[in-house]
Structures are given as structure tokens and as C-alpha cells.
Amino acid sequence: MVQLRHLLIKKQMKLTSIQWANDTVNPHMGCAGCELFPSAAKFLTAIGNLLGELGIRINVRGLYSRLINEYYNRIACPQLGHRNALTTTNIWHLRNKFAAVISRLHGRPAGRRVLEVIEKTLVCYAAKLHLNRGANILEPLRKRNVGYAPTFEQLTRFPGRMQKAAQWEDLRECNDADKPWLKGLPRLIFVSDMGDSFSSKGQFDYIEKEMAAVSSENGQRHLWLWLSKRPHHMRSFSERIGGFPPNVCVMTTLTGPDTLQRVDELRKVNASSRGLSIEPLWERIPPESLDLTGINWVIVGGESGSRKAARPFEVAWAEELREHCRKHGVAFFLKQLGRNPVEKGKMLQLKNNHGGDWSEWPKRLRVREFPAYFRQYRG
């Protein structure tokens, strides 16, 4: 009987391949961007810097604007998401056209280098899905997936998704053979993997309404892992509502020492538990610079993506952060080694293309822990 129930629950599970959660839910799709989805201005600077290094003088902004204008004006009937503007989405979609002009004027190697820079600069997985499924001025007749934002930059509300998620089955008694480390935990729902609800303070009224699902009788059975790269907005929101409910773990992302200020902001969020997702880790974070006061959980991972574009991930960076967590009694979770893991100067060859299958790792690296609070908060 118990087995049958587990089978039924498994069938209903809206599984995510993300190792540290059971499911994901997105009250918003889209985002105002971050270092993984830079603004158009940052893209243009990166391209301009490269061309400068190659000794090519060109008005990058002017050339891109002309291309966008040309393709936009070909659309007979522009739809939601088609914009005649210098946006990151348009820069991405027209990257081959732009590179073709550079190749024609300055040779193919220069065009190739431009493409490489553009593809290396845009890393956000959620954005890439939007770029493939949202509006594209190059393919104006392509059907847009209505479950997505029209373009990634357009933060779009999807009311009711949290309410539905609250009704999902309780998983505390369920054992998922694919993720044995989740055993005995409540259902872990990753909120906002396809955008950032806290992109703007203008969303607070809406978020507050959606949050009712989290505190509802059904919602309290689950633990909601809410991630944002704008913990300062989370902080303001938590002050407005008198603190997040006890079944929300607030989280932020670090990619290297430049983003450490987010930890200080996260500490100020009024919440019962806090987590750091240090993924993709692009640059070593010296453990002594990572203050873990008030932090319950640390997730670490290397960058996914193509072999060419993903930055190398030194396994030693994860190991020293693991030891740092042990010293401070913080749960540590090694999510993945990334596309290009390096150990003692040698590239590790793994079958799993983002290095997320821990059966391929040396035993000492297989650490996937959760804060004790996650098991205890329900009593």
C-alpha cells in the first residue's frame, strides 16, 4: 500500500533535475538581469573591448541598432515581445548577423571571436530557454510559448502557480531513488528558477498575494526555497510583511568575491533560514572572506554549458568551502562540478555534461547535506 502511494506520488511529481529540490515554481517568468544575463550596454562594452584589442574601430552600438531596426521593420504585424530596441534579447538573436558583418569587413577570425564573446557573456539558463521559446524578431511568425515571458527582460506575472504548488502531495514519507539525499525531508520547492520575482519593488503587492499559498494549510507542508540575486529587495519585502513564514528559506547566489556583498544583505532578511547558492563559481572565494553568520546552507557548483564557453572550476575551491562550512556548522551541498572541472591542473573527464552525477566523483566529494532546520521546522 505504502509502495503504491509512493508510485502515485512519483507520477504526480513535477520533477526537476536540480539536485537540491523536488520541484520548481515561478510566480514570475523573466528578470531584470544580473552578471549571468548582462544589460545591452555591458554586452556592447564587451564586444567593443574585444574589437579594440583586435585593432578594429567600429561603432558597435550604431551597427547593432541598424541591424535591429532593419529586421524589426520587416515584421508586418509586430507581436508581444517584438521590440525595436537595443535589448540583450535582440543582441542575442542577431548575433550571427552582427558577426557576419564583422567577418565581411574584417575577416572571419574577427567574426568568430565576436560570436565567442557574446556566447560566453550570456550564461543564465532561464534566459536561454526564454530566448529559444519567446519572441524573436528574426522569426516573427514563430509561435511563442505562452508559459514564458514574451522576452526575458519583461518580468511577467503568472498568478495562481504558487497556489497550485501548495496543493502538491507531501513528500516527507516518500523516498526518491534518484535523489536519495532528500530522504525524510518535506517537499522542497525551488521558487524562481526561471526569473527573479524580486527584480523590482513594484512587484511586492503581487508577491504578497501569492505568498498566501505558502502560509496556507497545504503550503505549510512544504519548504519553499526562494532564490533572488536581489537580497536587498527581499529584505525590504520581509520588513513589509513582518518576516517570511518559517517554511521559507531565503537564498541568494554568489559567483565570486565580487558578489560577496549579497551575503550581508541576505543576513538582514527577516527569515528563519538562509542559503547561498554558489553556482556557477567562476572565481575562488577565499573562505576567510565568506562570513557564514546567520547562514544555514551552502550549495556549490561549477558552470554548465559548452566545453568552449564554460569557465573552469577548480575542485579545490569547493573543498575549502566545504571545510569552512564544517568549521561553522553549516550544511554543505556539492551540486555539480560543471562542464570543465579541474583538479591539480588536470581537466577531469566526466560523462555527465555538467558534472552533476556524483557516482562519477571521488568519494570524498560526495557531500549533499541539508540544514537540520529543514527536518525540524514541522515538529
Q: How far apart are CA 303 and CA 281, in angstroms?
A: 7
Q: Of 12-20, 31-39, 99-107, 329-337, which segment contacts ligand SF4 by CB under 6 A? A: 31-39
Among 37, 98, 237, 244, binds ligand SF4 (CB under 6 A): 37
- Asked if 127 touches ligand SF4 (CB under 6 A), the answer is yes
Nearer to ligand SF4, 23 or 196 (CB): 196
Nearer to ligand SF4, 71 or 92 (CB): 92
The H or E element that residue 324 is part of is: helix 315-327
- Cell readout for 19 is 539536485
3-state secondary structure of 261: helix
Q: How far apart are CA 285 and CA 275, in angstroms?
A: 16
Nearer to ligand SF4, 111 or 356 (CB): 356
DSSP calls for 24-88? EE-SEEB-S-BTTB--HHHHHHHHHHHHHHTT----HHHHHHHHHHHHHHT-SS--TT---S--H
Mark residue 242 as left, alpha or beta (left: phi above 0; alpha: psi -120 to 50; beta: remaining): left
Contacts of 140 (CB under 8 A, 6+ apart): 74, 75, 76, 77, 78, 79, 82
Among 196, 210, 279, 314, binds ligand SF4 (CB under 6 A): 196
Percent of the chain as helix, strand, coil, to the nearest 5: 40, 15, 45
Nearer to ligand SF4, 126 or 348 (CB): 126
Among 126, 174, 185, 263, binds ligand SF4 (CB under 6 A): 126
- Cell readout for 216 is 496556507
Nearer to ligand SF4, 221 or 311 (CB): 311
Draw the binding track, 136-175, toward ligand SF4 (x: CB under 6 A; -: no contact). ----------------------------------------
Question: Closest Cα to residue 318, out of 297, 328, 332, 305?
Answer: 332
Q: Of 99-107, 120-128, 131-139, 166-174, which segment contacts ligand SF4 by CB under 6 A? A: 120-128
Number of residues that bind ligand SF4 (CB under 6 A): 11
CA of residue 133 relative to chain centroid, distance: 17
3-state secondary structure of 227: strand
- Asked if 305 touches ligand SF4 (CB under 6 A), the answer is no
Among 124, 213, 263, 350, binds ligand SF4 (CB under 6 A): 124
For CA atoms 218, 223, 229, 234, the dihedral sign is positive
Nearer to ligand SF4, 190 or 361 (CB): 190
Return the residue matching grid coordinates 508510485: 7
Draw the binding track, 220-259, toward ligand SF4 (x: CB under 6 A; -: no contact). ---------x------------------------------
- Asked if 210 touches ligand SF4 (CB under 6 A), the answer is no
Nearer to ligand SF4, 69 or 261 (CB): 261
Q: Of 103-111, 122-130, 135-143, 256-264, which segment contacts ligand SF4 by CB under 6 A? A: 122-130
Q: How far apart are CA 37 and CA 131, in angstroms?
A: 11
CB of 122 to ligand SF4, least distance (A): 9
Nearer to ligand SF4, 219 or 231 (CB): 231
Nearer to ligand SF4, 31 or 44 (CB): 31
Q: How far apart are CA 247 and CA 245, in angstroms?
A: 5
- Asked if 31 touches ligand SF4 (CB under 6 A), the answer is yes
- Asked if 34 touches ligand SF4 (CB under 6 A), the answer is yes
CB of 223 to ligand SF4, least distance (A): 20
Binding site for ligand SF4 (CB under 6 A): 31, 33-34, 36-37, 124, 126-127, 195-196, 229
